[in-house]
Amino acid sequence: MGDTALQTRPGREKPASSGGRGGKTGATAAWLVCASGKGGTTKTTTCAHLAAIAASQGMAPLLVDTDPQQSLTEWIANRRKLRAAGTDVRDLRHIYAPLAEADRAVREADVVEGVDLVIVDTPPGMDNRVQLRLLLERADLVIVPTTQSPPDTKSVLEMMAIATQLRRKAAFLIGKALPRWNSYRHAKKLLNRYGTLCPVDVRMLRDVERCYDYGLGINEAGDASGGEDFEGVWHFVRRELGC
């Protein structure tokens, strides 16, 4: 995609009801929670791109942003600006409630109709464990994103331990992967010891960051690199969720 203007992919979307579990509410939908306890580990990026891919495949996702920094909410706002300017991107539904009010987020999400997948983004930090636990307990799958940097991989192990203790299905995901670096190999070795590792990584790619900044899903920019990475992650997530 490079530095040229973003080109959106035309005519790619199915109607929202064609592949999903129509007639569901948030209460009966599958819940995917992205949590790592550490900032900069690609939680928000993962939520955004997976939601855009899910929607393009006919599912009806609901995004729940529990990070007071509201990066995911900002992504949604940027999407709405794109739509207002005539760009053909799906309007994704969304709820914001800070982690401290996760119980409210869950109550609100539960009553949203026509949802087959709830995708929850969480803030960095492990301070609010009661509310975090509430979200994790709700998860059908916890994705624990991390970069390959040693401080990140070490710090996300705790989230996997909590998810495992709560008997949640969980998997690490390496984002911003640089497979030629030694740290990549070390990260895989360490993460594999502590839990399931998503078999597909998301490479460090400028287009991933750029699409995100514009409010686009990686699958919505015609010439963006990284689409296949998130598609691969999405296949894994979908299989694990059984949806």
Q: Give the range of 6-14, 37-45, 79-87, 180-188 binding ligand ADP by CB under 6 A.
A: 37-45
Residue 215: its H or E element = none
Count the Cβ atoms, other than its own, within 10 Å of residue 216.
25
3 state DSSP class of 33 = strand
Name the binder of 175 from ligand ADP, Mg ion, none, CB < 5-8 A by kind: ligand ADP
Q: Is 45 in the site for ligand ADP (CB under 6 A)?
A: yes
By CB under 6 A, name the one of 205, 216, 224, 237 that touches ligand ADP.
Answer: 205
Angle of helix 43-56 versus helix 206-214 axis, rounded to 10: 70
Q: How far is the CB of 229 from ligand ADP (least distance, A)?
A: 7
Q: Is 42 in the site for ligand ADP (CB under 6 A)?
A: yes
Site for ligand ADP in 137-196 (CB under 6 A): 175-176
Name the binder of 176 from ligand ADP, Mg ion, none, CB < 5-8 A by kind: ligand ADP
Q: What is the number of alpha carbons within 13 Å of residue 174 lying toward its C-beta?
A: 26
Q: Is 43 in the site for ligand ADP (CB under 6 A)?
A: yes
Site for Mg ion in 41-100 (CB under 5 A): 43-44, 71
Contact 14, 56 (CB under 8 A): yes
Rounded to whole angstroms, the Cα distance separating 11 from 23 reads: 25
Residue 26 vs 145, nearer CB to ligand ADP: 145
By CB under 6 A, name the one of 71, 183, 196, 225 that touches ligand ADP.
Answer: 71
Count the Cβ atoms, other than its own, within 10 Å of residue 68.
11
Q: Is 44 in the site for ligand ADP (CB under 6 A)?
A: yes
Q: Which residues in the chain belong to E strands, given as ranges? A: 30-34, 61-65, 93-96, 117-121, 141-146, 170-174, 196-197
Count the Cβ atoms, other than its own, within 10 Å of residue 100.
14
Q: How far is the CB of 232 from Mg ion (least distance, A)?
A: 21
Q: What is the DSSP string of 178-209?
A: -TTSHHHHHHHHHHHHHSEE-SS--B--HHHH
Q: Is 149 in the site for Mg ion (CB under 5 A)?
A: no
By CB under 6 A, name the one of 27, 126, 134, 204 that touches ligand ADP.
Answer: 204
Residues of the shown chain interacting with ligand ADP in the complex, contacts defined by CB under 6 A:
39-45, 71, 175-176, 202, 204-205, 208-209, 212
